[in-house]
């Protein structure tokens, strides 16, 4: 048949079947009469064939039937929904019985358990499984199960089944009334306690490492205890029977008691030394009075001593600050001594010159007295003229000496004034070097002590004047990632970069302090909540307008911040805590944001 005849027959078929002549009906009738496949249904047929080949599809016959009818009727929307429903049901069937919680729990347990295989081998095998089956949950579940079975086999091979022990199953070897591992109550022993392979060797190694590596380094100042510990280690190496283990437990118990007494004595000694140092600081404060050159150092040490327990990290930080302050003060003190010596030398010269003038004055007084006597005895003009000449000569000499002395005294006065100004400047630098202890050594911002003093002053002033006092807590976003990727030196440079920018942008009355890590505090006197929000948002915009260079990479650093306004009677820590809550909310909201404490209520 020609295409025209096929088309005519297709129209007659539609009329006979009482179907509207839509393109779909006409295409289907045309293909049926021409005995040609309907190419538009190829995808539907392939989809149906693929689904029918899936394992377990027989249990979904009703859904599959409805899907077939929808595809044959070209109800594509219904077909899409039914296809998704059938595939989801198949996935649920295939994943039924998979206990992922058990798999993950077992993975964590075996990962931390010491096995005959190394941690690097564990990591390699796990990465291999994830790379092969990471995108296929069914395959991944099976491979993870097989991997954990292999690990458990390794664990069993390192510990005999009859010697598997847990921490809860181990008896207390320091209790004489308890039973011993591998020993009877009569102490005769029923077999090896810490010998051979398996748990015994494992616990022997653990205990030996604890004594040698954990306890021994802390006994350098106690040779008797150190020797006793070494004896215990030797006894541990020789322990074979349950009776030996019992004896070891008793000696360990006595050793722990002695060690506890020594540690208590160390605590009392440290507290006593701290008390003596406190008394010494009080005495120094009374001696120096209002001398601010050492006041900052004394207060910093008092602040450390007031913290319980003492923190070695803070002591080391204070030690570094004190060393720097002492070094700077030493340099300034040397210059101050030189200036003082110069002043003393000028005073000596001045006194010598004044004495010389006094001596010359006595000489001229004697001459003038003698001239007076000569004038009284002389009656001729020639004699009087000679006396007058000598008198005029001495008068001119007196004038010259007085002018020279005046010039020298004027010069000495200028030198004294210059040296005095130099001394005042050096004394101010001494005071400044002492106050440097209140600054963070890395960034130059105030440290915690400086912040506490600044807050105390501003809170007192705010309460006295009735003005608001706002505080912003700033935390640099993604600082840990920057530190890990580019190194600590770049991280330190980033901290200085942020502090420099913030210090330049805030008002002279505001104070910038480093609170810890990548957190900073901006204390803003006479500032309301709205003004503080506006100021910190401006800081955020200014920070994002510039680039920070990290190993030739241009980075944009952002920060999140929380704002809190001080309430009368509120402590500085409480105020910072409220700002911290607001800052945390800003982090959760997407970072590079600022929120006020009132916003989170």
Tokens of 70: 């929808």
Do 196 and 344 sit in the same domain of this protein? no
* Percentage of the chain modeled with pLDDT above 70: 69
The token pair at 169 is 């199953």
Q: How many domains does the chain have?
A: 5
- Burial class of residue 513 in the structure, from the number of CB atoms within 10 Å of its CB (0-12 exposed, 13-18 middle, 19+ buried): buried
Residues in the chain: 601
Residue 203 banded pLDDT, cuts 50, 70, 90: confident
Mean pLDDT of the 434-456 span: 79
Highest-pLDDT range among 10-19, 103-112, 309-318, 534-543: 534-543
For residues 458 and 582, membership in a common domain is answered with: yes
What average pLDDT score do residues 50-65 get? 72
Structural domain includes residue 302:
no
Question: Model confidence over 299-314: pLDDT tens digits?
Answer: 777 776 666 666 565 6
Q: Tell me which of 435, 462, 489 is where a domain ends.
A: 435
At residue 312, the pLDDT reads: 60
Which value, in Å, is the radius of gyration of the alpha carbons in the chain?
47
In this structure, is residue 105 part of a structural domain? no
Instruction: Tell me, yes or no, whether 544 and 452 share the same domain.
Output: yes
Residue 143 lies in a domain: yes
Output the furthest CA–CA distance in the chain (Å, rounded). 178
Range name among 62-66, 162-166, 227-231 with the lowest pLDDT average: 162-166
Predicted confidence at residue 319, as pLDDT, reads 66
User: Is 291 part of a structural domain of the chain?
Assistant: no
Q: For residue 115, which of 142, 162, 148, 144 has the smallest C-alpha distance?
A: 148
Task: Spell out the residues 6+ positions from residue 564 whose beta carbon is closer than 8 angstroms to its own.
Answer: 470, 471, 473, 575, 576, 578, 579, 582, 596, 597
Instruction: Kindly tell me if the per-residue pLDDT of 430 is higher than 70.
Output: no
Residues 479 and 573 in one domain: yes
Mean pLDDT, rounded, of the chain: 75
Domain shared by 127 and 27, yes or no: no
d(CA 549, CA 566): 37
Cβ neighbours, 10 Å, residue 597: 22
Q: What is the pLDDT of residues 539-582, one digit of tens each?
A: 999 999 988 988 888 889 999 999 999 999 999 989 999 999 99
Residue 559: beta bridge partners?
476
Is there a domain that residue 327 lies in? no
Give SS3 for 306.
coil
What is the predicted pLDDT for the residue at 164?
Answer: 38
**Confidence at residue 534, expressed as pLDDT on a 0 to 100 scale:** 94
Mean per-residue pLDDT, 332-348 = 69
Q: Which residue has the higher pLDDT, 235 or 587?
A: 587
Q: Is residue 385, in this structure, part of any structural domain at all?
A: yes
Q: In terms of domains, do 396 and 518 share one?
A: no
pLDDT value at 167 more than 70: no
276 and 263 housed in the same domain: yes
For the record, the structure tokens of 142 come out as: 């099976």
**Residues 429 and 448 both lie in one domain:** no
Where in the sequence is the domain holding 49, given as residue range(s)? 3-95
């Amino acid at each position: 048949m020609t295409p025209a005849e096929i088309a005519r027959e297709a129209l007659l078929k539609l009329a006979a079947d009482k179907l509207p002549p839509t393109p779909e009906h006409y295409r289907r009738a045309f293909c049926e009469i021409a005995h040609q496949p309907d190419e538009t249904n190829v995808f539907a047929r392939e989809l149906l064939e693929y689904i029918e080949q899936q394992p377990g599809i027989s249990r979904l016959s009703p859904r599959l039937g409805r899907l077939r009818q929808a595809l044959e009727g070209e109800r594509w929307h219904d077909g899409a929904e039914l296809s998704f429903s059938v595939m989801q049901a198949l996935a649920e069937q295939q994943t039924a019985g998979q206990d992922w919680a058990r798999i993950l729990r077992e993975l964590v347990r075996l990962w931390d358990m010491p096995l005959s295989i190394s941690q690097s081998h564990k990591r390699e095998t796990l990465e291999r499984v994830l790379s092969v089956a990471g995108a296929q949950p069914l395959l991944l579940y099976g491979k993870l199960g097989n991997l954990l079975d292999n690990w458990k086999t390794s664990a069993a091979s390192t510990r005999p089944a009859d010697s598997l022990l847990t921490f809860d199953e181990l008896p207390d070897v320091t209790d004489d009334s308890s039973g011993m591992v591998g020993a009877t109550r009569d102490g005769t022993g029923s077999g090896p306690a810490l010998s051979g392979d398996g748990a015994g060797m494992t616990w022997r190694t653990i205990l030996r490492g604890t004594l040698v590596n954990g306890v021994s380094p802390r006994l350098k100042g106690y040779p008797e205890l150190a020797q006793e510990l070494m004896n215990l280690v030797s006894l541990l190496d020789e322990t074979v029977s349950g009776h030996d283990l019992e004896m070891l437990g008793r000696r360990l118990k006595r050793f722990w008691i002695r060690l506890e007494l020594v540690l208590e004595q160390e605590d009392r000694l440290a507290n006593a030394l701290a008390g003596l140092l406190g008394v010494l600081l009080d005495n120094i404060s009374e001696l120096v009075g209002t001398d601010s050159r050492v006041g900052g150092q004394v207060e910093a040490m008092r602040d450390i001593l007031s913290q319980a327990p003492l923190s070695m990290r803070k002591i080391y930080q204070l030690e570094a600050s004190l060393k720097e302050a002492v070094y700077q003060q030493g340099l300034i003190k040397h210059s101050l001594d030189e200036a003082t010596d110069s002043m003393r030398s000028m005073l000596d010269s001045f006194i010598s010159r004044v004495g010389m003038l006094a001596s010359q004055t006595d000489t001229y007084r004697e001459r003038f007295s003698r001239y007076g006597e000569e004038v009284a005895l002389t009656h001729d003009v020639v004699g009087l003229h000679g006396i007058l000449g000598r008198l005029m000569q001495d008068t001119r000499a007196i004038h010259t000496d007085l002018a020279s002395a005046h010039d020298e005294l004027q010069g000495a006065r200028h030198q004294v004034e210059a040296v005095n100004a130099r001394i005042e400047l050096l004394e101010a630098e001494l005071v400044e070097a002492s106050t440097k202890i209140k600054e963070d050594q890395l960034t130059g911002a105030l440290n915690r002590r400086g912040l506490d003093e600044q807050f105390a002053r501003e809170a007192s002033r705010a309460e006295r004047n009735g003005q608001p006092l706002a505080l912003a807590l700033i935390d640099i976003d993604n600082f840990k990632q920057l530190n890990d990727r580019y190194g600590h030196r770049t991280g330190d440079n980033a901290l200085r970069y942020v502090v420099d920018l913030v210090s330049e942008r805030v008002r002279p009355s505001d104070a910038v302090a480093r609170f810890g890590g990548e957190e900073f505090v901006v204390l803003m006197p006479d500032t309301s909540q709205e003004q503080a929000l506006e100021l910190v948002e401006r800081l955020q915009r200014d920070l994002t307008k510039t680039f920070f260079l990290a190993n030739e990479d241009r980075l944009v650093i952002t920060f999140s911040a929380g704002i809190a306004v001080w309430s009368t009677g509120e402590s500085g820590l409480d105020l910072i805590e409220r700002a911290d809550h607001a800052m945390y909310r800003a982090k959760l909201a997407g970072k590079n944001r600022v929120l006020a404490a009132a916003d989170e209520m």
